[in-house]
Each structure stands twice: as C-alpha cells, then as structure tokens.
C-alpha cells in the first residue's frame, strides 16, 4: 500500500549473527496487500511464492505472517519463520498470531492518538503562554529565548538528548503561572509591596498547578516549581539549596535571569551579554550553580561571538539566532 516497513524488534537463535536476519519481502508484501495472515508449511515448495528469489536464497521452510490492521490501515506486520524444518506452525498458531496482531494494532493506534493528544495539549498551553506574553511588551518572547539558553546550557553540560528536550520544554512553560499575576504588578517599575511580591512568588505554584493535570508533562513540574530557588541562598517557594534543587530548575534559573538582564523590563534597562555574564558570575555559588553559569558562558561564546569581548546585546530579538560559523564544541560530560 505504498508504505515502507522496517524491523522494530527482532528475536532469533543465538547462533544467527547479529545484523544478518532477513525477511522474505514476497511473503510480507502478500500479507500487507491482502491484509490476511499467511501460513506456509514449506515456503520453498509453496505455489503462492514460486520463483520468489528471497525464499530460495534464505532457504525458508516454515513461515507465519500477520498484518497489524486497524480501521483499514496496515500499521505493521508480525513475521516468524524457521529455516530448517517444515510444518513448524499450524492453524492454532495462526489463530493466536492473528489475535496478537489485532490487539497490537489497537495498542499502536491508541499510542498514536495519545501522541496526538499530547501535542494538542502542548500547543494549547504554548498558545496560552504566547497570549499572556503578547499583552506585555517587556516579556514578549521571553519563554522562547529562555528555552534557547536552557537548551544550550544542558547541551554544554553533556546531558543526554532526552533530558535536553525535557529542559527545553520546561523552559518554554516555566512562566505559565504568571497568567495568575495582575498585569499592573508585572509591569510595575517601582519597588513591589510585600503583598505584590508574594503574588509574584506564587506564579511558580500556579504554574505547577496548571500543568499538574497533564500527565505527560509531569517531568516539568519540579523545574517549573524550583526555577527561583537559590543555590547557596534562600529562594522560593521551598527554600531548597545546592543539589537539592533539581538540575533542570538550576538551569532554568540561570537562563531566566540572563534573559531578564539582557532585555528591557519595567524595573531595569537591558545590559550587554558580557555585563550580564559578569553579574551571573558574581552570584556563582550564591544564587546560581557555578557549573550552570560556566556552561551558559561557554554556550554564548560558541554560539554568538568569536571572543568574550564581542558578546554584546543583540540589536533585536531576531538577532538572537546563533551565528552560522560555530566553533566546534567540547562538551563537559560531567552530569549532576
């Protein structure tokens, strides 16, 4: 039906070398085209496959094959063979394989639906976050930039690809809780009152509560909750210190602070990348994890400039894209 299938799981005898396993395309194509289970007691002698080069080359004897069909679509195939003995399978085996194929097809389709649902949830949340940011010219694009910095830090620290993706996702969503903070508080240029400061602090808990019902995003919760904790000082909401703060939250904290310093805010003017790094380095071991700060420094030098002296505030947010002439990165493989 125009689809190309590739093996996802292979189980064979120990004496068959890894990578040498082959499947008869003739039998596979017939099963897929006709959407039926196939039983061949001796494939080499079976008239249905006479002249099939793959069967003769592989010396196939007993073969059983069942397509995974759901609502008229072939999602995959289960294939078994024996190359030494004929008549290894019977009609009972075919019935069992067919039942397994039907259940597998339903499970695969459900997993696709679940993936689509996850994507829809994520896109809806990002749309909500973009709506919140769009109301405030000072924070517009903040989550996107923070996610870029956070991803760069994670990669510099040698974290695996999956963990890097998780940190990037958490960075995209880290300020979703600000939907519960009044705009006049977010936009206030003067000092906040105690009540206003508590309202700002509550955004991490609000964000956690917004995301908590979405099961597939459970991994972001500790990062969203903890990105304002301080490494060697007292942050919020739990007053965690040092490595008790999740690494992802420590990375978000540095990325978030860096973007706040290098973009226009009601309460401060933007500074250059170079000056922002000086401020972050002054807080190493205090507000921020030293290794995370150094990882950001290395990421910026590799991605946005040739020398530390050339790290300056981009003219516009669109200038934040990394330069095309990157130096080769030597990643620190140490993990925390």
CATH number at 145 reads 1.10.3210.10
The DSSP H or E segment spanning 155 is helix 142-156
Domain that residue 210 falls in: 138-320
Q: Does residue 103 form part of some domain?
A: yes
pLDDT for res 317: 40
CA 176 to chain centre: 18
Indicate whether 307 and 174 sit together in one domain: yes
pLDDT of residue 305: 56
Q: Where does a domain end: 87, 105, 134? A: 134
**Same-domain pairing of 287 and 150:** yes
Q: Find out whether 247 and 336 touch, Cβ atoms under 8 Å.
A: yes
List the pLDDT tens digit at each of the 336 positions of the chain. 455 666 555 555 555 555 555 667 777 788 888 888 888 888 767 778 766 666 666 667 788 888 888 888 888 888 888 777 788 888 888 888 888 888 888 888 887 777 777 777 777 777 777 666 666 666 678 888 999 999 999 999 999 999 999 999 999 999 988 887 887 887 787 888 899 989 989 999 999 998 888 888 899 999 999 999 999 988 999 999 999 999 999 999 999 999 999 988 877 889 989 999 999 999 999 999 999 999 999 999 888 754 444 444 444 343 444 443 333 344 443 443
From 95, 119, 134, give the residue that closes a domain.
134
81: β partners: 63
166 assigned to some structural domain? yes
Q: Identify the CA nearest to 56 among candidates 27, 14, 36, 34.
A: 27
Residue 332 lies in a domain: no
In a domain, 336, yes or no: no
Instruction: Give the chain's domain count.
Output: 2
Whole-number Å distance between alpha carbons of 310 and 303 = 12
HSE-up of residue 159 (Cα within 13 Å, Cβ side): 22
The verdict on 121 and 167 lying in the same domain is no
> What is the pLDDT at residue 104?
85
Q: Which two tokens stand for residue 179?
A: 């939907």
Whole-structure pTM over 0.75, yes or no? no
Answer yes or no: do 116 and 99 share one domain: yes
Same domain, 32 and 45: yes
Give domain status of residue 308, yes or no. Answer: yes
CA distance 26 to 145: 52
Closest CA to 48 of 17, 73, 27: 27
Name the one residue in this structure whose structure tokens are 């080069």.
Answer: 53
In whole angstroms, give the CA distance from residue 23 to residue 7. 9
Q: Which of 134, 164, 184 is the last residue of a domain?
A: 134
């Amino acid at each position: 039906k125009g689809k190309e299938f590739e093996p996802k799981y292979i189980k064979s005898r120990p004496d068959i070398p890894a990578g040498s396993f082959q499947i008869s395309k003739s039998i596979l194509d017939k099963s897929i085209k006709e959407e039926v289970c196939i039983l061949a007691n001796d494939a080499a002698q079976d008239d249905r496959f006479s002249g099939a080069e793959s069967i003769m080359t592989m010396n196939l004897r007993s073969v059983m094959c069942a397509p995974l069909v759901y609502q008229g679509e072939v999602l995959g195939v289960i294939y078994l063979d024996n190359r030494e003995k004929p008549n290894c399978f019977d009609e009972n085996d075919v019935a069992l394989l067919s039942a397994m194929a039907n259940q597998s097809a339903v499970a695969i389709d459900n997993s696709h639906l679940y993936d689509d649902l996850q994507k829809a949830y994520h896109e809806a949340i990002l749309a909500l976050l973009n709506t919140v940011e769009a109301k405030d010219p000072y924070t517009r694009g903040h989550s996107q930039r923070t996610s870029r910095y956070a991803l760069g830090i994670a990669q510099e620290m040698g974290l695996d690809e999956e963990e890097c993706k998780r940190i990037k996702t958490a960075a995209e969503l880290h300020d979703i809780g600000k939907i519960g903070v009044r705009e006049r508080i977010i936009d206030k240029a003067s000092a906040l009152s105690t009540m206003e400061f508590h309202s700002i602090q509550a955004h991490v808990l609000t964000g956690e509560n917004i995301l908590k019902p979405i099961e597939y995003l459970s991994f972001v919760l500790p990062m969203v909750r903890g990105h304002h904790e301080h490494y060697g000082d007292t942050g919020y909401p739990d007053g965690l210190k040092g490595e008790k703060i999740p690494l992802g939250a420590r990375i978000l904290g540095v990325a978030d602070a860096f973007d706040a310093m290098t973009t226009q805010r009601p309460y401060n003017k933007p500074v250059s990348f170079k000056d922002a790094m000086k401020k972050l380095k002054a807080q190493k071991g205090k507000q921020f994890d030293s290794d995370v700060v150094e990882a950001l420094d290395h990421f910026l030098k590799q991605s946005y400039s040739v020398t530390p002296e050339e790290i300056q505030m981009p003219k516009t947010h669109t200038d934040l894209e990394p330069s095309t002439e990157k130096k080769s990165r030597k990643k620190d493989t140490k993990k925390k």
